[in-house]
Amino acid sequence: MSVLNQIGVVTAMNLRNVSQRLGTSFVIVIGVAGVVAVLISVMAMSAGFSKTLATSARADRAIVLRGGAAAELNSTLSRDAVATIRDAAGIMKSGEGRPIASPESVVMVNVPKKGESTVTNVALRGIDPMGLVLRPEIKIIEGRMFQPAVREMIVGKSAQFQFQGLEVGKQLSFRGSDWTIVGIFESNGDSHESEMLADVETVMSAYRRGLYSAVALQLESADSFTALKDALTTNPAITVDVQRETDYFASQSKDINAIISFVAFFVGGIMAVGAMFGALNTMYSAVSARTLEIATLRAIGFGASAVVISIFVEALMLAVTGGLLGAALAWLFFDGNVVSTLGGNFTQMVFPMTVTTGLVVLGIIWACTIGLIGASLPAIRAARLPVAAALQAQ
């Protein structure tokens, strides 16, 4: 009988006998499922965070910050600098011939989370009237738009979902004044839905600021970025950094994604070690219980490779079953769950956890790795099993 036929016969026999080892097999499946569920659920936070930031960005929009500033919150631009930026080449003009550029001011407001007494930072973004032209995805779904020169604001639907007191008609008190919430908006699920928007001059007046945080602008085309950047970075009158929105939001998500990934693989790795020992113990028990069977197969001519591969196949089958179960549990209980974390501006960003196909594949690969490592030593033991001694012992 050929080696392939031997492998097929022994593997089929092992798989048929799995039902006789339900208890030990169940240990492997549940252990692997737990590891995969934890890994995918934590990584789903990173996927959801990245997706939300990616939705916020377009290649034909750019953001201008003070030179050396890492984010809007620690950037300042004077009114003269903003005027220079607006006159730069490469910026799209509106129907009235005005540059589609929005000087903005980002500040933090303390708002309590729903169900909690502690407060957290929520971004209040002051925008220019041109900011709504720049971001056509912003749509009022309840109430109305804020008015300039009045202490009114609109709130993103994600922020309203996560934080207390952000309903239409409610008031927030900060900086010695009351601000009225007049509308709720959505913007395709992007990061702006975690913010509150108001008139930029009113925000700066309330915070006694004379400097903007940044300027967001619409490019004439995605290819106009180089002309804009050259015009601004070579102008001796200003010192600024110019980034595409896509690059800016990617840099804002880099650190938090690294932290989430580290936590996911650190916790998942610890659990994986436990699952590997469980698989190792279970497969050792399975090999010990089949000592006579394996010795008999070896005695009648079946090679050690057929026995070894059959053990690996059994372990992989159980690991994949556990991986699929863990992925299903992660999708069922975590996909779409709304959570919040600190964003690039050190304000809370609300986003849904997202279980992607890539994460499911990663979970299955993680499960297979656990199964293969857990089966390796038992497979070696089976291959080295002395046939004569095993038959005599029985």
Report the C-alpha gap between 44 and 330 in whole angstroms. Answer: 9
Amino acid 337: pLDDT: 82
Whether residue 224 lies inside any domain: the answer is yes
* Confidence grade of residue 389 (pLDDT, cut at 50, 70, 90): low
* Confidence grade of residue 12 (pLDDT, cut at 50, 70, 90): low
* Confidence grade of residue 65 (pLDDT, cut at 50, 70, 90): very high
b/e map 349-373, b = 16+ CB within 10 Å: bbbbbbbbeebbebbbebbbebbbb
Same domain, 200 and 276: no
**Helix H or strand E encompassing 124:** strand 119-127
Whether residue 183 lies inside any domain: the answer is yes
Whether residue 366 lies inside any domain: the answer is yes
**Amino acid identity, position 8:** G
* Confidence grade of residue 126 (pLDDT, cut at 50, 70, 90): very high
- Domain end residue (candidates: 238, 273, 300): 238
Query: Which whole number is the average pLDDT over 238-248?
Result: 92
- Domain end residue (candidates: 208, 238, 268): 238
Whether residue 243 lies inside any domain: the answer is no
Query: What six digits make up the tokens of 373?
Result: 């490592």
Amino acid 301: pLDDT: 67
Q: Which of 31, 39, 43, 38 is nearest to 273 (CA)?
A: 31
Rg of the Cα atoms in the chain:
30
Q: Which of 195, 176, 178, 53 is nearest to 122 (CA)?
A: 195
Amino acid 29: pLDDT: 83
Query: Which whole number is the average pLDDT over 213-229?
Result: 93
Report the C-alpha gap between 315 and 56 in whole angstroms. Answer: 44
Same domain, 153 and 265: no
Same domain, 216 and 337: no
Q: If you average pLDDT over every residue of the chain, what do you get?
A: 83
**pLDDT digit string, tens, across residues 262-290:** 877 777 678 777 777 776 676 666 666 66
Whether residue 59 lies inside any domain: the answer is no
* Confidence grade of residue 27 (pLDDT, cut at 50, 70, 90): confident
Report the C-alpha gap between 217 and 222 in whole angstroms. Answer: 12
Query: Which whole number is the average pLDDT over 21-28?
Result: 70
Residues in the chain, overall count: 394
Q: What percent of the chain has pLDDT over 90?
A: 39
Model's pTM, two decimal places?
0.75
Same domain, 227 and 95: yes
Report the C-alpha gap between 257 and 56 in whole angstroms. Answer: 16
- Say which DSSP state 88 is in: S
Whether residue 247 lies inside any domain: the answer is no
Higher-confidence residue of 305 and 98: namely: 98
Which residues are within 8 A (CB) of 270 and not within 5 positions of it... i.e. 6 or more apart?
none
Report the C-alpha gap between 186 and 191 in whole angstroms. Answer: 10
Residue bearing tokens 């300039």? 148
* Confidence grade of residue 298 (pLDDT, cut at 50, 70, 90): low
Backbone angles phi, psi at 209, to 5 degrees: -115, 145
**pLDDT digit string, tens, across residues 348-359:** 677 888 899 999
Query: Which whole number is the average pLDDT over 159-169?
Result: 91
Query: Which whole number is the average pLDDT over 318-345?
Result: 82
Same domain, 86 and 40: no
Domain count, the chain: 2
Higher-confidence residue of 379 and 180: namely: 180
Same domain, 147 and 45: no
Backbone angles phi, psi at 192, to 5 degrees: -65, -20
* Confidence grade of residue 218 (pLDDT, cut at 50, 70, 90): very high
Q: How far is CA 240 from CA 69, 76, 82, 234, 338, in A?
A: 9, 10, 10, 10, 36
Query: What six digits make up the tokens of 13?
Result: 């026999």
Same domain, 41 and 83: no
- Please compute, for residue 176, the number of CA atoms within 13 A of its CA located in the half-sphere on the CB side: 4
Q: Structural domain of residue 260, as residue ranges? A: 3-54+252-393
β-bridge partners, 183? 143, 154
Amino acid 4: pLDDT: 64
Same domain, 197 and 280: no
3-state secondary structure of 72: helix
Query: Which whole number is the average pLDDT over 289-299?
Result: 65
Higher-confidence residue of 100 and 345: namely: 100
Whether residue 246 lies inside any domain: the answer is no
Same domain, 72 and 207: yes
Query: Which whole number is the average pLDDT over 203-232?
Result: 93
Helices marked H in 101-244 = 130-134, 157-162, 200-206, 225-233
Is the pLDDT score of 161 beyond 80? Answer: yes
Instruction: Determine how many CB atoms are found less than 10 A away from the CB of residue 73.
Output: 18
Instruction: Say if CB 185 and CB 160 are below 8 A apart.
Output: no
Backbone angles phi, psi at 332, to 5 degrees: -65, -45
Residue bearing tokens 């799995």? 18
Same domain, 39 and 161: no
**Amino acid identity, position 236:** P
Amino acid 235: pLDDT: 92
Is the pLDDT score of 305 beyond 90? Answer: no
Same domain, 218 and 90: yes
Is the pLDDT score of 385 beyond 70? Answer: no
Helices marked H in the chain = 3-16, 22-56, 79-86, 130-134, 157-162, 200-206, 225-233, 245-289, 291-299, 304-334, 357-383, 387-393
Query: Which whole number is the average pLDDT over 13-26?
Result: 63
Q: Which of 247, 220, 242 is nearest to 60 (CA)?
A: 220
Amino acid 53: pLDDT: 76
Residue bearing tokens 């490779």? 305
Q: Which of 135, 45, 47, 23 is nearest to 339 (CA)?
A: 45
Whether residue 152 lies inside any domain: the answer is yes
Amino acid 242: pLDDT: 95
Same domain, 190 and 274: no
Amino acid 331: pLDDT: 93
Backbone angles phi, psi at 83, to 5 degrees: -60, -40
**What torsion, rounded to 10 degrees, do the Cα atoms 81, 83, 89, 93 define?**
140
- Domain end residue (candidates: 173, 205, 238): 238
Q: How far is CA 262 from CA 46, 257, 273, 329, in A?
A: 11, 8, 16, 22
